C-alpha cells in the first residue's frame, strides 16, 4: 500500500491543485475556472465568436493586458482564456458557448464554429517563429480536439462532410469524393494552391476516416523544413475541409506575439505582417470565414507598430474608443470574490479532491487567502503561484491550517518570487501607462 501524504490525510487532496508554472501549457492545463474572468469572459466570447456569426464578417482583434510600469504585463490570463475557450468551443462546435450567450440552441447547432490556438515560442526545439509554422500548429491544435464522448474533431468533421456530400449527390461520400470536393473549392479561388506531394498526402489522409494515420503523418512525415514553408497551405486545406462539414466561421487565437517580435528584426517583422495581411486577411479561404485574434501588450504592440501601419492594417490599440468591438483588455482578479471562486474551484476540482472532502477553501482561512490576493492582485498567475508555494510549504511543514500566522512571514518572499518574471532588457515602456 502506498504511503499517504499530508495532502491526503489532512487536507483531502491528491496533490497541489495550484499551478506552479509561470506560463500556460495547453497540453497540461488541468484546471480551468472560467469564472475567474468575470464578465470579461462573455465580452471575449461575444466579440470574437458570436459577432462574426451575427455580422457575417470575420474580424481582426486583440486580447490585451496593461499594467503601469510593466511593458509586457504578463500574468493576466490571456493565454489561458484563449487556449481553454478554444478547446471548449471545439468540443461541440461552439453550441454550448453560443447558448451561454443567449443564442437559441437550434440556431447554435445550425451555425457551427471552430477555434484554434497557437503560441509563438522562438526559443524551444522546433521553434514557432513564423506565420507558416504557427498556421501548421493551429492545424495540430484543431485536430487534437475531442468531444465529450472522446470522438476526435477530425472524425466528426469527416463524417459531417461525407453526409453533406451524399445529400448534395456530389458523387458519393468516400475519401476520394471529399478530396475532390476540397480541390474543386480551391479552383474557385483567385489565389489557389498547388496540392501535390506532401500536401496531396495530407489532403488524402484528412479525407480518410483514419484519424490515427492523419496524426501520425503530421507528426512524423511532415518535417520542420516543409511546414515552415507550407504551413499556411495546411491551414487553408483544413479550413476548406471543415467548411464542407458545415463549419460557418473560424476564430484563430495567436499568443505570445512578444516572443516573436523580441527575436525578429524589423525586416522579418515586416515580412510576417505582410503575410498576415495578404494571406490571412485578404485571401480565401480565410478572408470570408476566419477571424484572427492576437495577444498584445504595450511592448509587443510597439515592436509591431511600424510594420502594421505600413501594411495598412487596422490599429488595435487598447485605448482607442474605435476599437471597442475588436479589443478586450483583461483586468485580472479585481475583486476578492473572484479570487475566492478561483481558489475554491481549484481546491475542489475532481482531479485533486478526494472523496469525502467537504469543499470550501480549506486548508486556507478566509483572511489568509485574502492576504495572498491583496499581495498579488490583480494578476491571476501571481495569485496561483503564491497559493502553490503556500500549500507546498504547508505540506512540507505539516500544518493543519494555512492561516495568517503561517502566511504573513512568508508573503514578501513568495510575492517576490511570483513577480520574478522580468521584462526583457531594453523593453520599452508605453508612455500611456507611465
pLDDT on residue 21: 80
Any domain includes 156: yes
Q: Please tell me whether residues 276 and 400 are part of one structural domain.
A: no
pLDDT on residue 172: 58
| Contact criterion met (CB below 8 Å) for 66 and 298 | yes
Global confidence as pTM: 0.92
Q: Please tell me whether residues 146 and 285 are part of one structural domain.
A: yes
| Contact criterion met (CB below 8 Å) for 176 and 207 | yes
pLDDT digits (tens, 9 = 90+) for 287-320: 999 999 999 888 888 888 999 999 999 999 999 9
d(CA 314, CA 123): 29
Q: Please tell me whether residues 393 and 301 are part of one structural domain.
A: no
Q: Please tell me whether residues 316 and 350 are part of one structural domain.
A: no
Q: Please tell me whether residues 166 and 295 are part of one structural domain.
A: yes
Any domain includes 30: no
Domain extent, residue 410, equals: 6-20+333-418
Any domain includes 213: yes
Mean pLDDT of all residues belonging to the chain: 90
pLDDT digits (tens, 9 = 90+) for 63-102: 999 888 887 888 999 999 999 999 999 999 999 999 999 9
Residue 61 reports pLDDT greater than 80: yes
Any domain includes 46: no
Q: Please tell me whether residues 310 and 349 are part of one structural domain.
A: no
Last residue of a domain, one of 281, 313, 329: 329
Section 170-181 average pLDDT:
80
Strand order in the sheet with 60-64: 113-119, 249-255, 290-296, 60-64, 327-329
Q: Please tell me whether residues 126 and 214 are part of one structural domain.
A: yes
Q: Please tell me whether residues 12 and 131 are part of one structural domain.
A: no
Q: Please tell me whether residues 276 and 385 are part of one structural domain.
A: no
pLDDT digits (tens, 9 = 90+) for 114-153: 999 999 886 665 688 889 999 999 999 999 999 999 999 9
Residues listed for the chain: 434
| Contact criterion met (CB below 8 Å) for 104 and 240 | no
The structural domain count of the chain equals 2
Q: 225 in helix, strand or coil? A: helix
pLDDT on residue 26: 75
Among 43, 115, 108, CA closest to 86: 115
C-alpha cell at 332: 485580472
Last residue of a domain, one of 312, 329, 346: 329
| Contact criterion met (CB below 8 Å) for 275 and 235 | no
Q: Please tell me whether residues 214 and 307 are part of one structural domain.
A: yes
Last residue of a domain, one of 276, 309, 329: 329
Section 161-165 average pLDDT:
92
d(CA 160, CA 82): 26
Q: Please tell me whether residues 12 and 62 are part of one structural domain.
A: no
- Can you list the positions of beta strands (E) in 369-429? none
Q: Please tell me whether residues 371 and 288 are part of one structural domain.
A: no
pLDDT on residue 192: 86
Instruction: Tell me the CA end-to-end span of the chain in Å, nearest whole number.
Output: 59
Amino acid at each position: 500500500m502506498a504511503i499517504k501524504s499530508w495532502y491526503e490525510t489532512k487536507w483531502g487532496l491528491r496533490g497541489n491543485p495550484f499551478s506552479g508554472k509561470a506560463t500556460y501549457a495547453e497540453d497540461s492545463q488541468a484546471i480551468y475556472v472560467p469564472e475567474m474572468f468575470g464578465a470579461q469572459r462573455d465580452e471575449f466570447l461575444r466579440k470574437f465568436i458570436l459577432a462574426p456569426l451575427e455580422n457575417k464578417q470575420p474580424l481582426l482583434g486583440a486580447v490585451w493586458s496593461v499594467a503601469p510600469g510593466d511593458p509586457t504585463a504578463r500574468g493576466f490570463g490571456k493565454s489561458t482564456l484563449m487556449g481553454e475557450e478554444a478547446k471548449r468551443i471545439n468540443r461541440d462546435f461552439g453550441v454550448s458557448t453560443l447558448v451561454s450567450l443567449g443564442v437559441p440552441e437550434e440556431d447554435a447547432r445550425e451555425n457551427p464554429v471552430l477555434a484554434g490556438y497557437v503560441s509563438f515560442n522562438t526559443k524551444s526545439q522546433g521553434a514557432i517563429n513564423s506565420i507558416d509554422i504557427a498556421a501548421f500548429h493551429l492545424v495540430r491544435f484543431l485536430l487534437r480536439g475531442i468531444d465529450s464522448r472522446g470522438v476526435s474533431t477530425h472524425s466528426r468533421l469527416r463524417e459531417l462532410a461525407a453526409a453533406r456530400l451524399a445529400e448534395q449527390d456530389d458523387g458519393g461520400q468516400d475519401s476520394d469524393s471529399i478530396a475532390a470536393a476540397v480541390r474543386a473549392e480551391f479552383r474557385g479561388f483567385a489565389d489557389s494552391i498547388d496540392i501535390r506531394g506532401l500536401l496531396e498526402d495530407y489532403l488524402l489522409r484528412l479525407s480518410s476516416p483514419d484519424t490515427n494515420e492523419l496524426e501520425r503523418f503530421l507528426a512524423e512525415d511532415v518535417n520542420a523544413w516543409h511546414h515552415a514553408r507550407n504551413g499556411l497551405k495546411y491551414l487553408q486545406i483544413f479550413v476548406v475541409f471543415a467548411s464542407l462539414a458545415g463549419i460557418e466561421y473560424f476564430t484563430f487565437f495567436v499568443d505570445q506575439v512578444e516572443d516573436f517580435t523580441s527575436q525578429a528584426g524589423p525586416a522579418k517583422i515586416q515580412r510576417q505582417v505582410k503575410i498576415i495581411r495578404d494571406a490571412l486577411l485578404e485571401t480565401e479561404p480565410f478572408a470570408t470565414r476566419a477571424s484572427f485574434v492576437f495577444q498584445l501588450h504595450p511592448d509587443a504592440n510597439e515592436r509591431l507598430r511600424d510594420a502594421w501601419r505600413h501594411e495598412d492594417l487596422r490599429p488595435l490599440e487598447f485605448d482607442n474608443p474605435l476599437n471597442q468591438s475588436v479589443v478586450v483588455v483583461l483586468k485580472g482578479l479585481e475583486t476578492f470574490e473572484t479570487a475566492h471562486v478561483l481558489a475554491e474551484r481549484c481546491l475542489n476540482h475532481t482531479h485533486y479532491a478526494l472523496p469525502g472532502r467537504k469543499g470550501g477553501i480549506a486548508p486556507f482561512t478566509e483572511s489568509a487567502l485574502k492576504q495572498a490576493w491583496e499581495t498579488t492582485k490583480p494578476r491571476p498567475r501571481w495569485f496561483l503561484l503564491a497559493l502553490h508555494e503556500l500549500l507546498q510549504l504547508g505540506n512540507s511543514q505539516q500544518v493543519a491550517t494555512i492561516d495568517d500566522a503561517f502566511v504573513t512571514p512568508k508573503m514578501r518572499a513568495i510575492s517576490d518570487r511570483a513577480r520574478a518574471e522580468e521584462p526583457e532588457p531594453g523593453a520599452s515602456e508605453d508612455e500611456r501607462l507611465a
